[in-house]
Amino acid sequence: MGSQDQALDEVQALPLRVVPPRAVSEEEFLAWCDDQTRAEWVDGEVVVMVPASVEHNSLSGWLVTVLGLFVEHHDLGRVLQDVQVRLPAQRRRRSPDVLFVAAGRLALLHPTHLEGPPDLAIEIVSPESEARDWREKYLDYEAAGVREYWVIDPMSQHVEAYALRSDEAPEAATHRYRRLEEHDGAIASTVLPGFSLRTSWLWPQTRPKTLEILQDLGVLGRQEE
């Protein structure tokens, strides 16, 4: 048996909750990780994410519903949740909390992952992911050409959104983000035409019902009084 096969057998024999104690190849990571394990692969390192809080799940689900119905209404592509994104040039497999893939790039969507950067990635910050979401993933997504990146921090009730500079294409050799400014309490997406979110909508005390947001975004007609 070759050394690579033996290493793979060792990883496969590990209980899924035990993080491999050494660097692993991408193939070994895929053999170790299953659809019940929230983990990412970062240049050989396995990064296991702690279980999401109730509020994290609530906000993520709310975003998927609002974004998903807006995207479906305008036939823009697909919105997904917790799907692994393979970034081969960065030697990364990341799992954004929410992501959007434009209609013209849906061929890159495989049964278990997206091959290449999404058009929009959203990360919801938790206590253990602050550095990862604000700094590490910012740099990864910027380098990979993710066209738009939103970071939402429920703990500090702070959100920032970034977009590739308008003169750059996703396939460019280098990329630079610019921050999307908030206007009248809302941030408008550059990737989803007509879509904007009021930052107050993201926090549990001021989060409207989904139907109200869809009416505000023009997806649903307003109810007659």
Q: Read off the CATH number of the domain in which 212 is found.
A: 3.90.1570.10
Q: Quick one: pLDDT at residue 169? A: 58
Are residues 139 and 116 both part of a single domain? yes
Phi, psi of 212 (to 5 degrees): -65, -40
Please check whether residues 87 and 168 belong to one and the same domain.
Answer: yes
Question: Which amino acid, residue 74?
Answer: H
- 158 belongs to a structural domain: yes
Q: Which DSSP letter does residue 31 get?
A: H
Range of the domain at 11: 3-48
Same domain, 195 and 103: yes
142/41 same-domain check: no
Per residue of the chain (225 residues), what is the pLDDT tens digit?
454 444 445 444 444 457 777 899 999 999 998 877 889 999 999 999 888 899 999 999 999 999 999 999 999 999 999 899 999 999 999 999 999 999 999 999 999 999 999 999 999 999 889 999 999 999 999 999 999 999 999 999 999 999 998 655 556 656 799 999 999 999 999 999 999 999 999 999 999 999 999 998 989 875 544
Q: Is residue 224 part of a domain?
A: no
Using DSSP, how many helices (H) and how many strands (E) does the chain show?
6, 13
**Domain end: 11, 30, 48, which one?**
48
pLDDT at 1: 46
Query: Using CA atoms, how far apart are residues 27 and 105, in angstroms rounded to an integer?
Result: 25
Q: Are residues 133 and 208 in the same domain?
A: yes
Instruction: Please indicate, yes or no, whether residues 30 and 126 belong to a single structural domain of this protein.
Output: no
> Across the chain, what does the average pLDDT equal?
88
Would you state the pLDDT for residue 225?
A: 44
pLDDT, residue 52, reads: 87
Measuring CA to CA, which residue among 193, 15, 22, 176 is closest to residue 103? 193
Buried-exposed string 83-97: b where 16+ CB fall within 10 A, e elsewhere: bbbbbeebebbbbbb
Question: Which one-letter DSSP state was computed for residue 35?
Answer: T
User: Residues 36, 65: one domain?
Assistant: no
- Our count of domains for the chain comes to 2
pTM assigned to the model: 0.86
Ramachandran angles phi, psi of 92, nearest 5°: -135, 145
Burial environment of residue 139 by CB neighbours within 10 A (0 to 12, 13 to 18, 19 or more): exposed
11 and 68 co-located in one domain: no
pLDDT at 16: 44
Residue 222 lies in a domain: no
The reply to whether 115 falls in a domain is yes
